[in-house]
A and B are shown apart, each in its own frame.
Chain A
Amino acid sequence: MTDTTRIRNFCIIAHIDHGKSTLADRLLELTHAVADRDMREQYLDKMDLERERGITIKAQAVRLSHDAGGIAYELNLIDTPGHVDFTYEVSRSLAACEGAVLLVDAAQGVEAQTLANYHLARDAGLVIVPALNKIDLPQADVEGTARDLAELVGCDPSEVLAVSGKTGEGVLELLETVIAKVPAPEGSTSDPLRALIFDSSFDTYRGVIAYVRVKDGVLRTRGRLHAMAASMDWEAEETGVFAPEATPIPELGPGEVGYLVTGLKDVHLVKVGDTITDQGRDRAHEPLPGYREPRPMVWSGLFPAEGGDYGALRDALDKLKLNDAALVFEPETSTALGFGFRCGFLGLLHMDIVKERLEREFGLELIATAPNVEFHVVRGDETLVVHNPSEMPHPGTYDRVEEPIVLATIITPSDYLGAVLELCQSRRGEMVDMKYLSTTRVEVHYLLPLAEIIFDFFDQLKSRTRGYASLDYEPWGYQGSALVRVDVLLHGEPVDAFSSVVHRDKAYPYGRSMVERLKELIPRQLFDVAIQASIGSRIVARETVKAKRKDVLAKCYGGDITRKRKLLEQQKKGKARMRRVGRVDVPQEAFIAALRVDQRTVERS
């Protein structure tokens, strides 16, 4: 157990590509955490390699040792997810630290995600150590970026450290500044145990691994523990630290950061943000603050392209859920797409990751319905929570509909400010404030409906600012909106998978664009197929796919019947892959293309 005065817990807040991993490599070298011959680039990122028996999950917190002024310090570098989908997870990681290095690429400047995470860190009471990275780059603007950063955190530009993760310049100074400025953790060994779970993962051999920060008391191997929010008892099968390899140690004292092997098989029992205490008389009575249940923000129906894969999809989702506590799903039956699941995600990135893993790791071919947010339909005192547009009641049967609103932070070069404001206005945005970070960079805050953000907003933002703007957002609340459900009908039959809830002003253009899109995607049939968009019983758009007139092989030449038969068999296979909606055959591809949201999700980090 290390004396708290010699412990420093910190994280690095940085935008993707601003050099966090490279800086971490230098810190590992400087503190001799890894023998020179074992060192490789982006060491921490690449620790999630398959290994027998050992813990195979990426280190979320790594322990470094450093001597300063004759004192041996224990430094815990805690990793934080950088993405907006995971704001809650970020906040829990921050709660495990006393300080944060705010790292900014001297050539790129401050980005929206950095800013959002900086605000989270400041609100969590962390001491901020501002630092510029990549000062070795010829295009680095050390002076200007230092000024912006100093203004942001409210310090003198001379206090902003200048670092090159690449050359190692300034890294020692950074480490010593962390020791000098970041406060030692508080907490006493004599208090009842309270340890924060700031992350968790699932290991095939060891079960659920919890990443913990001890606040009070001592966490011991073989200790009998109680998780307060989950209201679960378990035993600490093993405690240890990442140094950077998983290293068992018998106990973790106040202020220390490490891992805990729970032996549990279900990651949902180990909740991020939960407080661990002892069982029995020594238990703490107050949990640590800040816990909340993960709450899905974005919903989508996932359906197997091959109807027979339903069971496989269910098994795959069950497996994914083992190490993804935020994933929720329930069975859904679509008249158009058959049996599948309505899944809730933290955000679009989370949705993408889950979909990608289902397809790549489980070999499933999926059709995903367009993502939607969670609507609240209010009727008198009742509130109906709607996750699926096809379940939205028709107008006239309720008092109002509320939709989730987010507070968006956008940072853009001032040249593109007009374009950004125009985009936000067109997405029903309401400006909160705007401030110049420097003469050339502006920070804008908008209240925006989440539904507008999940529909190609980020793509539009990037294309209107030539890729320079960055975006972050956090939930703000629910607000009443003039929302209506738009249905799409094929030959008079509504196709539930195509239903959508949109703002009244956008219902017509939305319906128009869907029927036009579908007109290109639905093959001609033996009869005219009407494609209609409707709001309630009112048709707002219509197109027709004319009946096909010719589908015949002209010639059976020289007795080569085999080829003709093979062509027909191909055609038959194509038909078998179609889904039948009423009398209309709709190819899989039409569903996929019509439901595709044309955007890559918000930046990954």
Chain B
Amino acid sequence: MSAGIYVHVPFCLTRCGYCDFNAYAGLDHLRPRYVRALMEEASLAAPAWRDEEVVSVFLGGGTPTTLGTADLAGLLEHLRDRFHVAPDAEVTIEANPDTVDASKLEALLGAGFERLSMGAQSFDLAVLASLERVHGPDSVRRAMAAARRVGFANVSLDLIYGAQGETVASWERTLREAIALEPEHVSAYALTVEAATPLGRQVALGVRSAPDPDVQAQMFEVACVSLAEAGYRHYEVSNWARPGFECRHNLGYWERRPYLGLGAGAHSYRDDRRWWNVRPPEEYLRRVGSGASAVGGEERLEPADAHLEEILLRLRILEGIPSSWVEPRTVEPFIDGGLLRETDGALVPTERGMLLLNELVLALAG
């Protein structure tokens, strides 16, 4: 069966106020040990994944490009040695525009990272400042140009909308700027306030306002229109791609294909079992260094959990769920209300429905 491998790199130059990922600034001294630990963990895990064909590898974080090119190349080579990585596997690396230049990009491409996912977030200086991003819009353009120059043919831009200070007009400008760079893929995420982040605390204290969901809904609609006009297909709630450039790795999550997560806090899934590594990098290093398992927790999906997940994930992508899964009278109000449509025996959310997906999932999961 086809599987994916996710590698987590928890290092960042600085922490952004909104981010609740397992990422740390100031732990750079751990880098060499961390790369070794990743390789050890991969070696330990490999035998159990002998029968899977790895069709995608994704280096995320954090900021993977904080690691040296040689380390990154060595890591990928190690994975290719230990696992059955398909020759045409999609290999993605996330990059912060400030941590890459032409020579680094060239080396990455040479090492086999053929898909580049760049955290642009916004092209509006005020919005970038509000998100506490250290780069400016120019460094995105520069990095993009460099990537094209050295030969990257599959680049994705990540955007975030709804930060304090952003208007629908400035979001439209950001979209135009992004489209002008002609990425193969665009991810556009509504800013979500997570309680355990500096942003979350500021919102709780009333120092900053939480994003207005109505404004974010409007921004989502603007994105749908702009990106469709530019030839991108909306294939998941927050993702658009030119035909053939859908992110195979992320589709694996949504299609409930198995994946192995390596690194601090990384999540894995196979055969209705989900498990995850310990989050703190030091703890992860200690575990792997002493030959112990890095797994910090796991869950077995009960049929009801699996059912809820399947509906949640299938509705996120345009695959939808078979009409036969749900009673017609449950579905009708949503079809009449324009949140769902029925095509070829499948129930698929409309764009309005995608915005209200939680409601849809809960209603359809029963």
Contacts and interface: CB of A to CB of B under 8 A. Distances in A.
A68 interface: no
B253 A561 contact: yes
Q: Choose among B316, B352, B358 the residue with the greatest number of A CB atoms under 10 Å from its CB.
A: B358
Contacts, number: 95
Given A550-B356, A559-B261, A560-B276, A565 B269 contact: no
A564 B365 CA distance: 15
B362 A568 contact: yes
A568 B312 contact: yes
Interface in B315-366: 316, 337, 339, 352, 354-359, 361-362
A550 B220 contact: yes
Nearest to A583: B333
A556 interface: yes
B362 A572 contact: yes
A478 B93 CA distance: 82
B359 A556 contact: no
Contacts of A564: 312
Contact of A550 (B217, B238, B267, B276): B217
Contact of A526 (B8, B354, B359, B361): B359
A35 to B, nearest CB: 58
Given A549-B214, A559-B269, A554 B312 contact: no
Chain B's interface size range is: 35 or more
Contacts of B174: none
Nearest to B355: A550
Contacts of A561: 253, 267, 269, 274, 309, 312-313
A559 B220 contact: no
Interface string A549-583: 11111111111111011001101100100000000
A549 B192 CA distance: 15
Nearest to B275: A562
A554 B362 contact: no
A564 B359 CA distance: 14
A552 B305 CA distance: 19
B21 A562 contact: no
Contact of B356 (A548, A555, A556, A559): A548
A551 B358 contact: yes
A360 B323 CA distance: 49
B213 A559 contact: no
Contacts of A575: 362
Nearest to B361: A568
B299 interface: yes
Contacts of B6: 558-559
Given A549-B213, A550-B216, A555-B238, A568 B269 contact: no
B305 A565 contact: yes
B254 interface: yes
Given A550-B356, A551-B355, A556 B189 contact: no
B60 A558 contact: yes
Contacts of A526: 337, 339, 356, 359
Interface string A532-557: 00000000000000001111111111
A565 B299 CA distance: 12
A568 B358 CA distance: 7
Interface string B227-240: 00000000001100
B267 A552 contact: no
Interface in B261-302: 261, 266-269, 274, 276, 299
A560 B60 CA distance: 13
A528 to B, nearest CB: 12
11 contacts: A548-B213, A552-B358, A554-B237, A558-B6, A558-B267, A559-B267, A561-B269, A561-B274, A562-B276, A562-B299, A565-B308
Given A553-B358, A554-B238, A558-B267, 13 more contacts: A549-B213, A551-B356, A553-B192, A556-B253, A558-B8, A558-B261, A559-B267, A561-B274, A564-B312, A568-B308, A568-B312, A569-B308, A572-B362
Q: Which 3 A-B pairs have the closest CB atoms?
A: A549-B217, A552-B357, A550-B217
Interface of A: 526-527, 548-562, 564-565, 568-569, 571-572, 575
